[in-house]
Amino acid sequence: MSQLEASISMRRTQHQPVGNVLYANTVPLPRVTLQLFMMCPRNLTFPEYVDSTTIYQSFAKKVSLVKCEAELIMCDLNNDGRLAEDEMEQYVSDLVPRIVALRDVAETVLPFYCCTATRRIFWDLDPYSRGVIRIDALLQSAVMDEWVRLQLMTEDSPQNWFGGFVTQQLYDKFLMLDARNEGTLNADNLKRYKKGLPTVSDDGLPIDVSPLSTLFIDRFFETNVMMPNSEMDYRKFVDFVIAVEMLPQCSRPHFFWNILDMEGVGYLTPMVVNCFFRETYAKLISAGLDVPARETVVQEVFDLVPTAEPLRITREEFLSCPQAGLFASLVIDCLSFWTYENREAR
C-alpha cells in the first residue's frame, strides 16, 4: 500500500458515524490506467498517440480532486458530509495562499474573494438556499472542475470565475454602483447596472440606462433582499451578477420564476410577461433596431416552454424546462434579446 493510500485509509477509519450514516469518499484514487489513456484527446498528427502533457494534466486533475476531497472533509466540522457557507469560506480562505494563480490577490480583497468563490459554488449546489451543500455533490459538479482548473494554473484567468480577476471586476462594479458610498446598493443604484466582467459601458444604451428591465430589478429586491430599507450587500450582489451574467444558462430557474410570477398565482400569462418585456421592447425601438411586433415576440417566447395549455406556463413547466434561462433573458434583457434575434447572422 502506498503512502497516499495508507493516509487516506487511516483518515477513513477516523470518521465518526452520525446516527447510522458514515461519510465515504467519492473520488477514486488516481492511477495511470488504460481508461485514463482512452479518455485523453488524441494527438492530431498521430491519432494513435496521446501527448504526455495531456496525460499528465488529466492525472494532475484527478490528484487535485483527491486533495480537495480530503481538505473539504477536514472542514466538515459536523462530520455529516455537508458544508455550511461559513465552512466553505474558511476552506477557500485557507487554500488561497497555496494557489499560484491567486498570488496577486491583495489582503484587502481576500474577504471579497472568499465570498465570491463561495457564492458561486452555493449558487449551483444550493438552489433553494438551504445554507448547506453536500461534499459528494460538489466533487462531481462542473463548478468543481472550474475550481480545480484554477488550482492547476500558474497565471490568473479572466475566463475562470474563481480567478482573482473576476472578483476584482465584481468589486469594482459594486463600488461604481455605490454612488452614496454606503457599502450597500438600493434598487436605484442597480438600475444603472451594465453587463460584463469587466463592465461594458459602451453597450449602445445611454450611460445611466441598464439593459435589464427596471421591473425585473424592482422584483429582485422584493423577492431576494431582506435587509432593512431594501439595501443589498456585496454577498447578495454576487448572486445577482451570477444570475444575469450567466444567462441564458440557468441553474436556478426558480430564482427567475419568483420574480416573474408577480401575483404569486403559480402560472404566467402573456399579460404578465408583457409587463416585463414592454420596457425591453422600448429600449430596442429607441435604439433604432428593427424588432418584430411585441405581441409576436411574446408568442414566440411562450413557444420555448412546452405547456399543457396554450399561453399559460405553470411553475412546474417552467422549472423543468431547459429553456427557462433563455425565456427569462429574452424578456428582461434587451442585449440578450438582440443577440438571440441575430444569432444566425453572427
Q: Give tens-digit pLDDT for 153-173.
A: 999 999 999 999 999 999 999
- Rounded to whole angstroms, the Cα distance separating 271 from 277 reads 10
**Are the C-beta atoms of residues 235 and 117 closer than 8 Å to each other?**
no
Q: Can you read off the three cell numbers belonging to residue 41?
A: 484527446
Please write the tens of the pLDDT for every residue from 27-80.
666 565 656 556 666 665 666 666 666 655 665 677 778 889 989 999 999 889
Q: Can you read off the three cell numbers belonging to residue 67?
A: 486533495
Q: Can you read off the three cell numbers belonging to residue 298?
A: 411574446
Q: Can you read off the three cell numbers belonging to residue 35?
A: 481508461
Nearest of 127, 161, 162 to residue 245 by alpha carbon: 161
Place of cell 494563480: 101
Place of cell 453587463: 195
Structure confidence at residue 201 as a pLDDT band (50, 70, 90): confident
Q: Can you read off the three cell numbers belonging to residue 318?
A: 417552467
**The predicted structure's pLDDT at residue 3:** 44
- Give the CA-trace dihedral at 246, 247, 249, 254, to 10 degrees: 100
> Higher confidence at residue 27 or residue 204?
204
pTM of structure: 0.83
Summary mean pLDDT of the chain: 87
Q: Where are the alpha helices (DSSP H) in the chain?
A: 3-14, 34-39, 52-75, 85-95, 110-125, 135-139, 142-151, 164-177, 187-190, 214-224, 234-245, 253-260, 270-286, 294-302, 315-319, 324-332, 334-341
Please write the tens of the pLDDT for every residue from 119-165.
999 999 999 999 999 999 999 999 999 999 999 899 999 999 999 99
For the residues 263-291, what does the mean pLDDT come to? 95
- Rounded to whole angstroms, the Cα distance separating 150 from 101 reads 7
Q: Which of 56-65, 227-236, 280-289 has the lowest mean pLDDT?
A: 56-65
**The predicted structure's pLDDT at residue 20:** 42
For the residues 265-288, what does the mean pLDDT come to? 95
Please write the tens of the pLDDT for every residue from 297-342.
999 999 999 999 999 999 999 999 999 999 999 999 999 999 998 8
* DSSP assignments along 74-109, one per residue: HH-TT-SSEEEHHHHHHHHHHHGGG-GGGTT--TTT
**Are the C-beta atoms of residues 224 and 129 closer than 8 Å to each other?**
no
Structure confidence at residue 88 as a pLDDT band (50, 70, 90): very high
**The predicted structure's pLDDT at residue 57:** 64
Domains, the chain, ranges and CATH?
34-42+49-157 (1.10.238), 178-342 (1.10.238.10)
DSSP letter, residue 138: H
For the residues 3-27, what does the mean pLDDT come to? 46
**The predicted structure's pLDDT at residue 62:** 73
